Structure 1
Amino acid sequence: MSVPILDAGLESRLWQAALAAQQRAYAPYSKFLVGAAVLDTAGEIHAGCNVENAAYPQGVCAEAGALSAMVLAGAQTLRAVLVLGDGAGLVTPCGGCRQKLREFGGPDTLILIADRKQIRARFTLAQLLPESFGPDHLTTT
């Protein structure tokens, strides 16, 4: 499966939204700040940041926050996601967030992985969560 492409301006807007969200993250324990921005099918961008909690594992990942903002705004379908975090390795969505993204996206949903300087990798949701289980599995024939 080929990775979908967004125009440079839209990628830049997603990156800016995720960067702004990362700067608002609440991570007093890990000090690992993450921002995320999701693009819905109407072209709107919704951002979220990680929010830690002293009672592990009660924190919220940036992707979950961005999805909540998208749903609150009235959208329910993803076109693309950008996750921004610092580190030597790629900061990809955790397993739980991959499943949360699957709830609102399909196999070809674009997942961009970035740091504060650039987009470092591009994946489809199917590449990150192969043979996934989603809402379409719950329909009966």
Structure 2
Amino acid sequence: MLNNKEIDIIRKFNRQYVIALGVLNKKIFKTDLSWPEGRILEKIAEEDEITPIQIVHKLKIDKGYTSRVISQLEKKRLIEKIPDSKDRRSIKLVLTDKGCEAYKSIDIRSNDQINNLIENLSDNQQIEFYESIRHANQLLFERKEK
């Protein structure tokens, strides 16, 4: 079991990484999108015809808040709602052409951001950093239920 000093080091990393990624900024990469809008836009881009409730579950965010963000994305003409072909009571979310362009821009800037973060590391340090992140992700988020 980790002691408080070790937990403090993890918390310090979390705080520094949040700052490095710019998550505390109101807008993502100087766009007119908030971070939650950007994250939901990304999830819609990653999943073919995802439903709002699937977004709630996958991103673990409040249903009402998700609904408001989806409405904002729809008003910005980045997404559209289409009826589910299997269940007419349900809707699926898809990116518009404008939404695809916004997503691609955010994706490129996200990659650039990570490259800028690690550019001063040697090749071996970059690989070590990658392996550490991959391992942490595996330990925390990819565990199989036994």
TM-score by length of 2: 0.29
- Give the structure with the larger strand fraction: 1
Q: Which has the higher contact order (CA 8 A, sep 6+)?
A: 1
Structure showing greater radius of gyration is: 2
Q: What is the TM-score when the length of structure 1 is the normalising length?
A: 0.30
User: By percentage of residues, which structure has more helix?
Assistant: 2
